[in-house]
Amino acid sequence: MNPTDTPRAALLDRLRRSAADPDRRILFTGATVVTMDPGLGTLPTGDLLVRGSTVVAVGPDLRAQGAATDAVVVDATGTILTPGFVDTHRHAWQGQLRRIMPDVDDLGGYVAATLAGYAPVYRPEDMYVGTRLAALGAVDAGITTMLDFSHNSRTAAHSDAAVRALVDTGIRGVHAAMGPHFGDWDHQWPADLGRLVEQYGSELITFRLATLATGEIAGPGLAFGPAAARTAAELGVGVSVDAVFGASSSAAVLDWERQGLLGPDLTLIHATGLTPDAWRAIGDSGTTVALAPTSDAQIGLETAVPAVDEALSVGVRPGLSIDVEVALSCDMFTQMRALLTVQRMRAVNAGYGTGREPVRIGTADVLDFATLQGARTNGLAGVTGSLTPGKQADLLMITAEEINNLPLNDAVGTVVLGSDARNIDTVLVAGQVRKWAGQVLDVDLPALRARAAASRDHVLEAARAARPLRAA
């Protein structure tokens, strides 16, 4: 990095002091700009101007048009500017249990340990700590929008804590609320979602109704159907449906089609092992899909193969998601690479010995899934996901001159195949700096470590103490 005459620390100070100014201008100069806007494409060398919370211009030389006047100028030479990544589904409350079961073998094992074992002993404090830790990890890895599928909403206080964690982190958060699978709870969901929307809804915090596909795991009360669809419609929010797997979910999709419940405001998560007829219904209706590439493979969900080919065959370009940090990584680079590798392996394998040309996706596809399509899947297509003038300034400055990335030859390939969290130099969310010079801002790391460890220890000890009661 070679900033202009002003050192990085002084630049940050100027940005922080002017943060509340809706007309504050930031001009990034000299970067390779990967806009993910089909009309703008990639600029080998370009500038990007932010005013307040919004991208206002992208071009090869905005200085010549006077953009530097009254702007904080950031020399982005040697970096790649991209939209922030968009996570379409993560159970963020589990953050303090990261990698606690890295070798989980199946969905039943995950459900028994996490949803039936740990979840019932969570306090609001634990909801806050887990969700904030997940959100901070997301920002550190360049994820500027995270859908928190918060399926441990035992009380209103639990929900409040989860939402406050998103607010305090400064991420663009989508709180998707669902009641818990097992254990005692207040049964305030879904009625309490209206209060959350009214109390916390903002430019950065939006809401969705979260449900399961069927009643197989936790009973019919949490399953999607006409009642849930009516609740969502009354609140003006979308619906995210988890555990969309196999034959039973395929039948459910066709039921939803007959009932007129499919459509762009509905997101189906995983969509693994669905029938061709279910996929036909999804494609015909414009229903969105959130894939979880490493979750399907690592946990062994249904076919264990992420359904990217099935989605693309019916015209659905999916979003990508992290799912559960108890057994998986927490960054979007891993999801993009895993999906790219699995799809290309399947394509080549299917054509091997037949003479057929494999139909392979590329790095531009998975970056599209991780940005623009993720935003569309979360109901935020007009807000984020590309560096389009008029959209929110959710963006990343990725270093391209570090040992793992130099020399820069192909920007999209470098982002997808070469980069990791160490290359995320700067993160802006709605024009506000959340990571700068490789450091996430406004985090007391020793205090965070202590709070996360204390919460984890409470959860583990309380779960052990409760185990004989559950067994009885």
> Does 8-83+385-440 match 85-377 in CATH topology?
no
Tokens of 425: 């130099």
Relative orientation angle of helices 276-285 and 246-258, to the nearest 10 degrees: 40
| Class in CATH terms, 85-377 | alpha beta
Characterize the bridge pairing of strands 79-83 and 172-177: unpaired
Task: For the chain, state the CA radius of gyration.
Answer: 22
Which residues does residue 269 pair with via DSSP β-bridges, in sequence order?
290
Relative orientation angle of helices 193-200 and 226-235, to the nearest 10 degrees: 20
What pTM was estimated for this model as a whole? 0.96
Task: List, in sequence order, the alpha helices (H) in 318-444.
Answer: 332-351, 363-370, 372-377, 411-413
CA atoms within 13 A on the CB side of 427: 28
CA distance 270 to 214: 14
DSSP 442: S
CA distance 28 to 50: 8
pLDDT tens for the 472 residues of the chain, in order: 443 445 899 999 999 999 999 999 999 999 999 999 999 999 999 999 999 999 999 999 999 999 999 999 999 999 999 999 999 999 999 999 999 999 998 999 999 999 999 999 999 999 999 999 999 999 999 999 999 999 999 999 999 999 999 999 999 999 999 999 999 999 999 999 999 999 999 999 999 999 999 998 888 999 999 999 999 999 999 999 999 999 999 999 999 999 999 999 999 999 999 999 999 999 999 999 999 999 999 999 999 999 999 999 999 999 999 999 999 999 999 999 999 999 999 999 998 999 888 999 999 999 999 999 999 999 999 999 999 999 999 999 999 999 999 999 999 999 999 999 999 999 999 999 999 999 999 999 999 999 999 999 999 999 999 986 554 4
Q: What pLDDT, on a 0 to 100 scale, did the predictor assign at position 2? A: 41
Q: Which of 358, 390, 385 is nearest to 371 (CA)?
A: 385
Q: What pLDDT, on a 0 to 100 scale, did the predictor assign at position 4? A: 40
Characterize the bridge pairing of strands 238-245 and 54-59: unpaired
Domain limits, the chain: 8-83+385-440, 85-377
Task: List, in sequence order, the alpha helices (H) in 170-210.
Answer: 193-200
Q: Which CATH number fits domain 8-83+385-440: 3.30.465.10, 2.30.40.10, 3.50.50.60, 1.25.40.80?
A: 2.30.40.10
